[in-house]
Amino acid sequence: MRMRPNRRNRDTGTMFDKILIANRGEIACRIARTSRRMGVRTVAVYSDADAAALHVASCDEAYRVGPAPPRESYLDGKAIIAAARASGAQAIHPGYGFLSENADFAAAVAAAGLVFVGPPPAAIRAMGSKAEAKTIMAKAGVPVVPGYHGSDQKDASLLAQADAIGYPVLIKAWAGGGGKGMRIVERHDAFDAALGAARREAQASFGDDRVLLEKYLTEPRHIELQVFADAHGGCVHLFERDCSVQRRHQKILEEAPAPGMTPARRALMGAAAVAAAKAIGYVGAGTVEFIVPSEAVSGKAIDAFYFMEMNTRLQVEHPVTEMITGQDLVEWQLRTAAGERLPLEQEDIPLRGHAIEARIYAEDPDRDFLPSIGRIVHLRTAPPSEHLRVETGVRSGDEISRFYDPMIAKLVVHGEDRVVALRRLAEALAGYQVVGVMTNVSFLQRLVAHDAFATGKLDTGLIARHRAELFPTATAPSERILAVAALAELACLREGSAVRAAASSDPWSPWHAIDTWWLNSDDHALVLTFEADGVAHPVRVRTAGEHAVLSVGGRDVHASIARDGAELRVRLDDSSFSATVVARGEERVVFCAGEMTRLHLADPLAHSGEEEPHGGHLMAPMSGTVVAVLVKPGEPVARGAPLMILEAMKMEHTIAAPAGGTISVINYRQGDQVAEGADLIVIDDAPQD
């Protein structure tokens, strides 16, 4: 990312020689990349789980700061400051998350004689409390959403306030963000359970279980303004980003500029954002977030926007702003932290084209976006270009841990307009391949292709409103996919045969051939059976030399294949195309024509005498920590009753009773660690009348 020529005087401040990056994953790699370009050396910190992580390899040196749990490593401010001093770093860049919005940490960094690459502690404190932030904004004349931001945190008091506001209400963590500690409450009798869950998540994520309440707007736009300020009184905004498309109150698609944004509204919201930053003596990168009624973006009711919060750090989605402005915001951060003036005046900041970012997560959209934990055994993406950025902190072979956020990468595309950017995003998603964990790639492909997103009809309820189209019923694998999977197996058989032949005393023996004439079958065909969603799909393979005839879906297909690792060049009758098949145990993952299909290769000789698990055994849907056990042995429960709460990656997941019955066995207690598939609770069937 090239900076435009500096039009301000940089005669103040001296650039750092070395900085410590107090973070991990893609943002640590991102900061290291800009620092290297600027000639600034970098120091990584790592937990025991991250000793071999990409961000460690991306920096010039690295220091261990503790065990895998974040509170014992990346949230240990003393250990991080000690590492900075030991390394000779002059500044600490906190990235986002972890300690990035911790005012006490920022103050401790300054007390240690180091520079915190971020705003002053006072500004962090002012905006770190959502309640205090709303009070400040209201005094400054910025409209805020109706709600309760007071200090009385008794459960009964909060319930009374929710009743007064009127349902639906939104419970939000007093500190922090990212959807942690947030719950929508639709009715009075659901408030207590939601409050308890929000408090626990807030405490786990931010060490503060206080909450505030807001009136929940049902179909709003989430539009944020990127602001930047220096220590000399300069303050600008770098336009807006639309972050309306969310799941679990967390963003998954962000774009700039906001679709439908008018120049008049942009000027009004930009001025409000700059005023908000100046009101708290801000320095560095920040984001002022507004909630906007959908109908207001087109120009109607131009003043209908409400302050939500201010994030006193660099945002995950900052690359879309960089793509439309041609600026490197990490460089801006380092320069302003070093005492320099802002590189550009407001009128000199360009706005060109359109950019969209898609977050690739290790999660299962079909199971309410539960995190997926495991080792990445295959990872491939389209090569980066001037139109495509791939921001990642993992490589093939790396593990997605239960301790940290499950984001794998960010795909960021740019085009001269939104139509071109959308096309490039679809291409980038089609070329993104991950095996080893479940991902949201296929879901994102459906999402960006959906008419509502494609036409810019955005709001925070988009996914829920179009759930039927975005979560379609599973369909049988196509004949082409089954043919590709069968040909990949054939290629593996041939390779194995070649290896055996080379190692034998008679490499030219016909018994090493894969021609199906020798197979124990009446019609000399090899039958491969692939299963998908419990349905078997047989493919009959007859071979002669390098060619094959496949019987699939009731018809014969003439085929040939060339293989280079996982990459295949396939010919089916008169068509030729590329595909990728990755084998993991009996699983076969097929990537073809931009789609991914999971198959299971059935072994016809395999037989298991094990009985199916009893219907009353409730298994852990993911690895995590038991944070609450809500029932006792012998207790009767109704269908849907909450039984146990698991926490993984700072998000809570409630295990509910699939049917009525009586609790007979509870295998885990609060605080226990459980693996995916662990037998948590046994429910005896309810007696029949």
Structure tokens at 671: 């605080």
Bridge partners of 24? Answer: none
The conformational region for residue 593 under phi > 0 = left, psi -120 to 50 = alpha, else beta, is left
Distances (CA, A) of 626 to 72, 193, 263, 493, 620: 19, 17, 50, 45, 10
Bridge partners of 378? Answer: 435
Report the candidate in 184, 293, 200, 188 with the shortest Cα–Cα distance to residue 249.
184
SS3 453: helix
Bridge partners of 574? Answer: none
Distances (CA, A) of 303 to 222, 267, 268: 15, 11, 8
- Angstrom distance (rounded) from CA 410 to CA 394: 11
Structure tokens at 356: 């969209």
Report the candidate in 1, 32, 6, 2 with the shortest Cα–Cα distance to residue 230.
6
* Whether the bond into 259 is cis, omega within 30 of 0: no
SS3 493: helix
Q: Which amino acid makes up residue 161?
A: Q
Q: Which amino acid makes up residue 481?
A: I
Catalytic positions are 313
Distances (CA, A) of 417 to 302, 431, 676: 24, 22, 44
Distances (CA, A) of 531 to 337, 583, 598, 606: 57, 14, 9, 14
* CA atoms within 13 Å, Cβ hemisphere of 254: 27
Helix residue ranges, H only, 65-129: 77-87, 103-111, 121-128
* Whether the bond into 220 is cis, omega within 30 of 0: no
What is the CA 251 to chain-centroid distance, rounded?
8
**Contact in structure between 682 and 664 (CB atoms under 8 Å):** yes
Bridge partners of 414? Answer: 355
What is the CA 370 to chain-centroid distance, rounded?
11
- Angstrom distance (rounded) from CA 139 to CA 130: 14
Structure tokens at 566: 């996982």
SS3 110: helix
Q: Can you say whether the dihedral through the CA atoms of 98, 101, 104, 107 is positive or negative?
A: positive
Helix residue ranges, H only, 303-404: 318-325, 329-337
Distances (CA, A) of 12 to 16, 37, 114, 218: 13, 21, 18, 48
Helix residue ranges, H only, 410-538: 418-430, 441-449, 451-454, 462-465, 467-470, 479-503
In 6-40, the DSSP E strands lie at 18-21
Structural Rg of the chain based on CA atoms: 28
Residue 101 is classified by DSSP as: T
